[in-house]
Chain A
Amino acid sequence: MSGPVSVSIGRDGPALEWPAARRAEVEQALARYPVRRSAILPVLWIAQREWGWLSPEAMALAAHTVGLPEPEVFGIATFYTMFNLKPVGRHHLQVCRTLSCSLMGADRLFRHLEQKLGVGHGETTPDGRFTLRRVECLAACGGGPCMQVGLDYHENLDEAKVDALLEKLP
């Protein structure tokens, strides 16, 4: 969410540039494949790590970086569920809702979070602290119900554990 954002106006190039600190990472991603477009997912990940979400400008930059048309990159970014197509809160709470977690109380847990935070699926609290989302199976079925906060796994949750967890988050 940080870093310099330089905006250029015109049709010749993307409106965003990679901040200097990210350029090596982008180059490394491109170097891993014999074909440039293979780097589109890594490059989109770098953009999301940098800016927190994939704005149209970030997608244009990714397209320019790997040499794909912008609409195609939009098509790719929208295919995968983990790319944020709008800004998300500081903590992205992703509650698994698939069968194993559901059997262990994920439904109740999600309703608890909805009530506690006053937001529903895909919504962000007014203070920008939390975005709440139901997601599909996270491969943590033995620790259900589970939730990812950002990219961190939290397993064997219940209402009290979730409350304690949220307390600790800035």
Chain B
Amino acid sequence: MRGPLLFSDIDTPGLTGIETYRKGGGYQTAAAVVGTRPPDEVIEIVKASGLRGRGGAGFPAGLKWSFVPKKTPKPKYLVCNADESEPGTFKDRELMEKNPHLLIEGMILTAWAIQANTGYIYLRGEFDYIQHILDRALAEARAAGFLGASVGGRGFTLEIHTHLGAGAYICGEETALLSSLEGYRGQPRLKPPFPAVEGLYACPTVVNNVETLMNVPHIVKNGAQWFRQWGTERSPGTKILSVSGPVKRPGNYEVPMGLPLSTLLNEHCGGMRDGMKVKAVIPGGSSVPLLPASMLGTGLDFESMVAAGTLLGSGGVIVIDEQTCIVDALWNITRFYEHESCGKCTPCREGTYWMSEVFARLERGEGRTSDIDLLYDVSDNILGKSFCALGDAAAMPVMGAIKHFRDEFEFHVRERRCMANRRAPGLTERQTEAVPA
């Protein structure tokens, strides 16, 4: 058993097929609930469980569902965010690849709770093969009567479709995802109105991450208190952490919320590769500030991470070793955001460009002493001033790195080289290609 909950049976052979899934009790919860238990009851169970969004923001799922208006002439939609675009995160990919029916059952229960008759699973474009796995599972669920005109024969209609993106980090942001799903460029929209009120096609819409939805059948089946046996008071349940970088055993790990980061790295991942030491860890995907090695005792839950000056985010744990230059690592991240900025708002579009330029100057050995404050200043002028969270995501890691590793930035300016660098000179060229006329 790789984990207590979502990973308890993840490696069961044949689990992608509906027969194996049903042998393990699959779809029993959906069959027992849809059309018999009041939708509000499902919302109340999930609210009481304290389940928080696993995509990055950590918003309470049940509360989000309760914002969907009960009496509305408009259709309602449930959208699964399977864009998984946050660098360092690869958990939803494994969850969907190995247990697609659990996602479908989670969506059936959630759709019943909010009374949505249509669901979409928005997959990042690279997940083409997962679309095939999900489409097969959806067809099986339909054939077994768990989707379609009358779910479980109880008169509730639900259709779920997959939708493939085409390469855009921003489409993981829920309003950009909805723009993309509607057939526009994937650019974010102003909130409010929030999607629960005006989302897809201006209709009430709930957008939930894959891992969030996969927790739902377990919670509805076993109850809120059962779910709370793991995790902390305010961050109940488990979290799947995707660990990457030079540890002995990178991969996905499901652990109780609140587990110290050091336990994850040393016990679950077997520590660092031989001869390497941790310099810093980015705990929640590339959008969050890094933690220096001295802070690895921090618990992997929403509150502990905030107290340590960072965020749990999507749970993408990127381990940076002592021989890696922090300036170099942050340049890599910064030009990621420069490349992925959708161009809608000025602080993010221009700010990420200029931060990249300043990093390039530092890397070329042409940095000025004032560049460190300049980077901080540009970040500060993006933070909280961009249209959506992408700008914050670009600014926060740079500010965190300057706070914890200012000496490496100063070294770069003074000595005109990296303080440490086992890597080849950075892959630095901008990636833009001219669009053919």
Contacts and interface: CB of A to CB of B under 8 A. Distances in A.
B183 A141 contact: no
B420 to A, nearest CB: 13
Nearest to A43: B183
Interface in A13-66: 32, 34-42, 44-45, 66
Contact of A100 (B161, B169, B318): B318
Interface string B416-437: 0000000111110101010110
Nearest to B429: A121
A107 interface: yes
Contact of A66 (B168, B169, B183, B425): B183
A79 B429 CA distance: 20
A163 interface: no
A166 B84 CA distance: 28
A146 to B, nearest CB: 10
B85 A139 contact: yes
A76 B423 contact: no
Interface in A122-136: 122, 134-136
Interface in A48-95: 66, 68, 75-76, 78-83, 85-86
Contacts of B244: 100, 103-104, 141-142, 144
Contacts of A97: 332, 427, 431
A137 B87 contact: yes
A80 B167 contact: yes
Contacts of A143: 90, 250
Given A42-B164, A103-B246, A151-B126, A139 B185 contact: no
Q: Which of under 10, 10 to 19, 20 to 34, or 35 or more describes the interface residues of B?
A: 35 or more
Nearest to B269: A142
A98 B336 contact: yes
A49 B334 CA distance: 33
A151 B129 contact: yes
A102 B332 contact: yes
Nearest to A44: B166
Nearest to B90: A139
B150 interface: no
B169 A108 contact: no
B243 interface: yes
A130 B12 CA distance: 38
Nearest to A81: B167
Interface residues of A, number: 54
A104 B165 contact: no
A139 B124 contact: yes
Contact of A42 (B163, B167, B243, B321): B163
Contact of A141 (B316, B329, B426): B316
B339 interface: yes
Given A103-B324, A122-B433, A38 B186 contact: no
Nearest to B125: A82
Nearest to B273: A104
B157 interface: no
B333 interface: yes
B251 interface: yes
B175 interface: no
A45 B88 contact: no
A39 B427 CA distance: 36
B427 to A, nearest CB: 4
Contacts of B215: none
Contact of B185 (A35, A75, A99, A144): A75
Contacts of A161: none
B356 interface: no
A107 B336 contact: no
A142 B127 CA distance: 16
B396 to A, nearest CB: 15
A41 B242 contact: no
A76 B429 CA distance: 25
Contact of B427 (A85, A102, A152): A102
Interface in A97-118: 97-100, 102-108, 110-111
Contacts of B379: none
B279 to A, nearest CB: 11
B406 interface: no
A131 to B, nearest CB: 11
A76 B127 CA distance: 19
22 contacts: A32-B163, A34-B75, A38-B182, A41-B165, A41-B183, A45-B164, A68-B183, A75-B185, A80-B125, A80-B165, A81-B167, A82-B125, A82-B126, A86-B436, A97-B431, A99-B336, A108-B423, A136-B169, A137-B85, A137-B286, A139-B93, A142-B252
Interface of A: 32, 34-42, 44-45, 66, 68, 75-76, 78-83, 85-86, 97-100, 102-108, 110-111, 121-122, 134-144, 148, 151-153
3 nearest interchain CB pairs? Answer: A37-B183, A80-B166, A82-B167
Given A66-B183, A80-B167, A99-B87, 14 more contacts: A34-B75, A39-B183, A45-B164, A68-B183, A98-B87, A98-B333, A99-B88, A100-B87, A100-B88, A103-B244, A104-B244, A137-B87, A140-B90, A141-B87
